[in-house]
Amino acid sequence: MTRNSIIDSICSAILSSGKIILSAAEEGLKITEKTSARDLVTQYDRLVQERLIAAISEMLPDAQFVSEESSAKGNIDAVDAFIIDPIDGTTNFVHRMGNCAISVAWYKSGKPFYGAVYDPFAGEFFDAKAGDGAFLNGEPIRVSDVPLKNSIVLFGTAPYNPELTDETFDLVKSVFGKCQDVRRMGSAALDICHVACGRAGFYFEATLSPWDYAAAAIILGESGGNLVDLSGNEIKLSLEKTSVVAGNKNIIAESGIINA
Ligand code: LIP
């Protein structure tokens, strides 16, 4: 199979998994708490993960997987490594709020190759292949270039890490007076894609796992955006959690959030 035909098959697997998410019946949700009452997983997270891994493994039997709901993590620097969040924004999903996404990143020997983030509720499929630009439902997207005062800033609350609550809301307060407004939408992958298509100036969160941002990072990079940590350092994808600031570098600089 050619790389493009593999990408087409991955997109088909993501779209059909989206139908599973849309069909989830409220009474049918089996919700399990992982590390806390805020860190949830459902049978649909696991079902989507299983389907995606099976579909990709059929095409690339030697592929390695780093997926949120798998305890065993593969080699993230493998020749073909897939970093998967089957439902990013599970809390939104559990509360029937939409705004959640299937996130699949394909890294080749540690380098970004292809990323897809799909919100089945909104019918929005973001994707990007390294060097070929970023798209929303096939239309090219770019980060915003309006000033911070005219921009929405998105943030995450790092809900699994209460020790970061004060830092998070201090940063929100420092930015709120300089921007048009702030939003906490609940899916890091989608937040970064909203930045990539210019809907928001930038997004930040004090800590994320690689599956939360790996695919959206590729889309953001192809849309002209920057992905750094809260110290301003470029992020090298790894199994370690990291803070994330994603957006137009001028708007990020104007906000003063780096090393605030
Ligand atoms: C979530 C992120 C969110 C973050 C949560 C969690 P999950 O992903 O999308 O932005 O605040 O801590 O990481 O767990 O729903 O896949």
pLDDT for residue 3 = 80
Band (37; pLDDT cuts 50, 70, 90): confident
Q: CA 181, CA 219: separation in Å to the nearest integer? A: 24
> Which of the pair, 25 or 252, is modelled with greater confidence?
252
CA of 1 to the centre of ligand 1 (A): 34
Cβ(159)–Cβ(187) below 8 Å: no
Over residues 191-241, the pLDDT tens digits come to: 999 999 999 999 999 999 999 999 999 999 999 999 999 999 999 999 999
Per this entry, what is the length of the chain?
260
Over residues 59-102, the pLDDT tens digits come to: 999 999 999 988 878 999 999 999 999 999 999 999 999 999 99
3-state secondary structure of 260: coil
CA of 186 to the centre of ligand 1 (A): 7
Residues touching ligand 1 (Cβ under 6 Å) are 68, 85, 88-91, 156-160, 187-188, 205, 208, 212
The one-letter code for the residue type at 127 is D
Q: CA 90, CA 225: separation in Å to the nearest integer? A: 26
pLDDT for residue 71 = 81
Over residues 142-179, the pLDDT tens digits come to: 999 999 999 999 999 999 999 999 999 999 999 999 99
- Per the DSSP assignment, residues forming a β-bridge with 124 are 119
- Tell me the backbone φ, ψ of residue 71, rounded to 5 degrees: -70, -40
Active site residues: 68, 85, 87-88, 90, 212
CA of 140 to the centre of ligand 1 (A): 26
Band (2; pLDDT cuts 50, 70, 90): confident
Band (26; pLDDT cuts 50, 70, 90): low
Query: Residue 163's CB: how many other CB atoms inside 10 A?
Result: 9
